Amino acid sequence: MYRSGFVTVVGRPNVGKSTLLNEIVGEKISIISDKPQTTRNKIQLVYTDRDYQIVFLDTPGIQMPKNKLGEYMLKISKETLEEVDIITFMVDSSFETGRLDNYIIKELGTIKTPIILLINKIDTINKEDVEKLVLKYEQMNMFHKIIPVSAINGTNIDLYIRTVKDLLPEGPQYFPEDMITDQPERFIISEIIREKALLNLQEEVPHGIFVGIEEIKKRQEQDLIDVFATIYCEKESHKGIIIGKNGRMLKTIGQQSRSDIEKLLGSRVNLQIWVKVEKNWREKEAKVKYFGYR
């Protein structure tokens, strides 16, 4: 019997959801950063084995909505929860359940989909504390299974995969086995650039940026691909910071991005990045859609 199904990983920002998916698939596709809120799209990763296929949906970190973008993110997260076969709820063992965890737990309580709880980052705490955490969550009586893991070290990830597999319903192989993501290159490239910007910029800028990819074009008869991108920011002052003194910051972001994009496309790349101010883009719902979060 072939088994297959859709699995989503939810949890508050920064718990390690992208790290988990990358560990499972073994490829760096979703964006990883130590700053919260880096995953905005549903990223689909596909894990195929001889007798089963797991399709992962990486939902945006659920957060109490503060603006239109926040509301939008919460909505897609909830929609995903109703649609999938298995929910994976990830918490971070290095801090207490906070207001947002409780909020997510309340939301999950209203949904019938089976939930696997992953207590992540157990490499940062001792064994007794892990056991205490497991007990605490067992008392909630809402999880199909509770698994302490370390996404970064790969600890107990095999147990997690087996648990998922056992819960999967009978189903077809939805995607070809060599497929690991359905995200177009354009999106992955924009995420690579955004990741490099997040890594290099100071706290006050990153979450107000969006990267648009204008064009990806292969030059005729040359092993060279031109990529034209724009970093949109919310303030004139941010534009200055992103460009940097004598264009140095933008150059660094560009060089680091180019190296990753070349690996992705398997070709030499000429990357041109512009910086534009687009005031309050987060507040404008129409813009949010226009920018492709659907």
φ, ψ of residue 146 to 5 degrees: the values are -115, 120
- 15 a known binding residue? yes
Task: Choose between 50 and 99: whose C-beta lies nearer to ligand GTP.
Answer: 99
272 belongs to the binding site for ligand GTP (CB under 6 A): no
Residue 37 engages ligand GTP in binding (rule: CB under 6 A):
yes
Q: In the block, which residue shows the tokens 């299974």?
A: 145
Q: Is 182 annotated as a binding residue?
A: no
121 binds ligand GTP (CB under 6 A): yes
The reply on whether position 42 binds ligand GTP by CB under 6 A is: no
Pull the structure tokens for residue 112: 């019938």
Among 125, 130, 152, 167, binds ligand GTP (CB under 6 A): 152
Query: What track of x and - describes contact with ligand GTP for positions 7 through 26 (by CB under 6 A)?
Result: ----x-xxxxxxx-------
Query: 16 or 212: whose CB is closer to ligand GTP?
Result: 16
**Measured from the CB atom, is 256 or 267 closer to ligand GTP?**
256
List the structure tokens of 293: 């979060």
Which of 43, 104, 151, 197 touches ligand GTP by CB under 6 A?
Answer: 151
Using N-to-C axis directions, what is the helix angle for 236-243 and 248-265, rounded to 10°? 70
The identity of residue 267, as a single letter, is S
Q: Which of 7, 8, 10, 38 binds ligand GTP (CB under 6 A)?
A: 38
Does position 33 interact with ligand GTP (CB under 6 A)? The reply is yes
Contact 56, 269 (CB under 8 A): no
Asked whether residue 18 is marked as a ligand-binding residue, the answer is yes
Q: Does 203 participate in binding ligand GTP (rule CB under 6 A)? A: no
- Of 29, 57, 61, 269, the one binding ligand GTP (CB under 6 A) is 61
Phi, psi of 232 (to 5 degrees): -95, 135
Question: Is residue 36 within the footprint of ligand GTP (CB under 6 A)?
Answer: yes
Q: Is 12 annotated as a binding residue?
A: yes
DSSP string, 228-290: EEEEEES-HHHHHHHH-GGGHHHHHHHHHHHHHHHHHHTSEEEEEEEEEE-TTGGG-HHHHHH
Determine if 148 is a binding residue for ligand GTP (CB under 6 A). no
Please give the residue whose beta carbon sits closest to ligand GTP in the complex.
Answer: 16
77's tokens = 């997260």
Which burial class, exposed, middle or buried, applies to 160 when counting CB atoms under 10 A from its CB (0-12, 13-18, 19+)? buried
The answer to whether residues 233 and 240 touch, using CB atoms and an 8 Å cutoff, is no
**Contact between 293 and 72 (Cβ < 8 Å):** yes
Judged by the rule CB under 6 A, the positions of this chain that interact with ligand GTP are 11, 13-19, 32-34, 36-39, 61, 120-121, 123-124, 150-152
Binding site for GTP, residues?
11-18, 58-62, 120-123
